[in-house]
């Protein structure tokens, strides 16, 4: 099929920053794009060929949108899976598949998938209601501390909480959830795996993620991870095992814990471009966004090795600020060596909302990390 400068139409569910960065590459290749998004002022609006407003969880809306495209992909997991399955039955190519998304959307189902496929992951219990956790604690079937996770609709630290006392459960939603063993980890790692329809598979280097303790969001992504070769190889192999189990098409970001004993445990996955791959835009031969396109269009996959060491810093809304966004001291960071800011185009900021990211590239990873700390200290995402 001719995808370039043709009548081919790529549909994207979701119009956020991941979609916007994917569109950098569709514009580079002159691929016609159509986006469905609930918000009228979403970041994707400026870069796609067609922009449609609609509810991604509404069956009819997604089916009506998808029937007019040739290939359908998504930049967010919270979409109507039944609609995707219907479109597949009608001959529309949907990547990643509805089958995989149905597993990944629900964290309980996702954890059971790892158990069934003998993929290393932390111990967990599944509960239909929050009240069942309280019963398990009372009966001695569950001990503090543990990690509570909502089974569905969690994102960017929402729907996750470390529970150390019974009072920590207060105010949490009463729906389906899991209680995971709190892993005493040494590092949080991630590997992005790309796979196309004919089964060509490539992995990106292992990255290391540093998290904000309060917001449970990634603050820094460091590539390559500062780990032993043996651990890096183990993480790559685990990611490939997960990829093979899902038999996906597109990108699969596999987040993992490295324990103090040298084990690698899968935390969760994302079937799309991911926060842990943003540094690939500047630091890699092929960005994760171009690679996702190559994979879902069954084109040859690009090189995944890095040209240079890269660190990504998330730009999130400062605490205490709500309203029209202002990026304070952005000129200061642009004067630093190897620094590239990416502004997502969200007009309103709120505490911990992802508003952009900054990439720092340098042949010396330690120097890049020092510059990243300076960037984090200098720039502020505030309101007017």
pLDDT given at position 51: 98
Task: Please tell me whether residues 190 and 333 are part of one structural domain.
Answer: yes
Task: Please tell me whether residues 199 and 267 are part of one structural domain.
Answer: yes
Task: Please tell me whether residues 71 and 195 are part of one structural domain.
Answer: no
pLDDT given at position 156: 60
CB 318 within 8 A of CB 380: yes
Report if residue 44 sits inside a domain.
yes
The model carries a pTM of 0.95
Task: Please tell me whether residues 150 and 204 are part of one structural domain.
Answer: no
**Would you list which residues are annotated within the binding site?**
107, 149, 180-183, 188, 267-268
Report if residue 100 sits inside a domain.
no
Count of structural domains, the chain = 3
Tell me whether strands 207-212 and 177-181 are parallel, antiparallel or unpaired.
Answer: unpaired
Gap between the Cα atoms of 41 and 39, Å rounded:
6
**Would you list which residues are annotated within the binding site for ATP?**
107, 149, 180-183, 188, 267-268
Task: Please tell me whether residues 167 and 261 are part of one structural domain.
Answer: no
Report if residue 249 sits inside a domain.
yes
Task: Give the other-Cβ count within 10 Å of 111's Cβ.
Answer: 24
212 closest CA partner among 264, 154, 274, 160: 160
CB 65 within 8 A of CB 56: no
Report if residue 80 sits inside a domain.
yes
pLDDT given at position 216: 67
Tell me whether strands 124-127 and 160-163 are parallel, antiparallel or unpaired.
Answer: unpaired
Tokens of 379: 């720039």
CB 255 within 8 A of CB 268: yes
Per-residue model confidence as pLDDT tens for the chain (384 residues): 899 999 999 999 999 999 999 999 999 999 999 999 999 999 999 999 999 999 999 999 999 999 999 999 999 999 999 999 999 999 999 999 999 999 999 999 999 999 999 999 999 999 999 999 999 998 888 999 999 999 987 766 678 999 999 999 998 998 999 999 999 999 999 999 999 999 999 999 999 998 876 666 788 999 999 999 999 999 999 999 999 999 999 999 999 999 999 999 999 999 999 999 999 999 999 999 999 999 999 999 999 999 999 999 999 999 999 999 999 999 999 999 999 999 999 999 999 999 999 999 999 999 999 999 999 999 999 999
Task: Please tell me whether residues 316 and 363 are part of one structural domain.
Answer: yes
Report if residue 99 sits inside a domain.
no
Task: Please tell me whether residues 37 and 130 are part of one structural domain.
Answer: no
Task: Give the other-Cβ count within 10 Å of 168's Cβ.
Answer: 15
CATH of the domain at 335: 3.30.470.20
Q: What is the residue range of 168's domain?
A: 123-181
Task: Please tell me whether residues 197 and 320 are part of one structural domain.
Answer: yes
298 closest CA partner among 5, 7, 10, 14: 10
Report if residue 260 sits inside a domain.
yes
């Amino acid at each position: 099929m001719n995808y370039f400068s043709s009548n081919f139409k790529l549909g994207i569910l979701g119009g956020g920053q991941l979609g916007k960065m994917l569109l950098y590459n569709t514009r580079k290749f002159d691929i016609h794009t159509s986006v469905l998004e609930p918000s009228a002022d979403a970041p994707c609006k400026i870069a796609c060929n067609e922009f449609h407003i609609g509810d991604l969880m509404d069956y009819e809306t997604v089916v009506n949108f998808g029937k007019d495209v040739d290939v359908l992909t998504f930049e967010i997991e919270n979409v109507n899976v039944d609609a995707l399955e219907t479109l597949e039955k009608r001959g529309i190519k949907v990547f990643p598949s509805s089958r995989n998304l149905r597993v990944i959307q629900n964290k309980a189902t996702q954890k059971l998938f790892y158990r069934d496929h003998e993929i290393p992951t932390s111990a967990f219990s599944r509960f239909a209601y929050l009240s069942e956790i309280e019963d398990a604690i009372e009966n001695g079937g569950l001990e503090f501390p543990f990690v509570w996770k909502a089974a569905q609709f969690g994102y960017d630290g929402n729907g996750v909480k470390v529970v150390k006392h019974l009072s920590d459960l207060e105010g949490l939603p009463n729906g389906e959830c899991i209680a995971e063993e709190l892993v005493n980890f040494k590092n949080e790692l991630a590997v992005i795996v790309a796979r196309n329809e004919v089964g060509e598979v490539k992995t990106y280097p292992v990255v290391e993620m540093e998290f904000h303790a309060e917001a449970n969001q990634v603050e820094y992504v460091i590539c390559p991870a500062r780990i032993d070769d043996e651990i890096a190889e183990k993480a790559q192999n685990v990611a490939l095992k997960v990829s093979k189990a899902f038999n996906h098409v597109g990108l699969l970001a596999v987040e993992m814990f490295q324990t103090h004993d040298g084990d690698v445990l899968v935390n969760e996955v994302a079937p799309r471009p991911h926060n842990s791959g943003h540094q690939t835009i500047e630091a890699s031969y092929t960005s994760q966004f171009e690679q996702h396109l190559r994979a879902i269009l069954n084109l040859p996959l690009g090189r995944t090795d890095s040209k240079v060491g890269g660190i990504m810093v998330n730009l999130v809304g400062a605490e205490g600020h709500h309203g029209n966004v202002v990026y304070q001291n952005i000129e200061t960071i642009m004067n630093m060596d190897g620094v590239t800011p990416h502004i997502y185009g969200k007009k309103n900021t709120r505490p911990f909302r992802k508003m952009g990211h900054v990439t720092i590239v340098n042949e010396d990873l330690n120097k890049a990390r020092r510059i990243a700390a300076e960037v984090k200290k200098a720039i502020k995402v505030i309101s007017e």
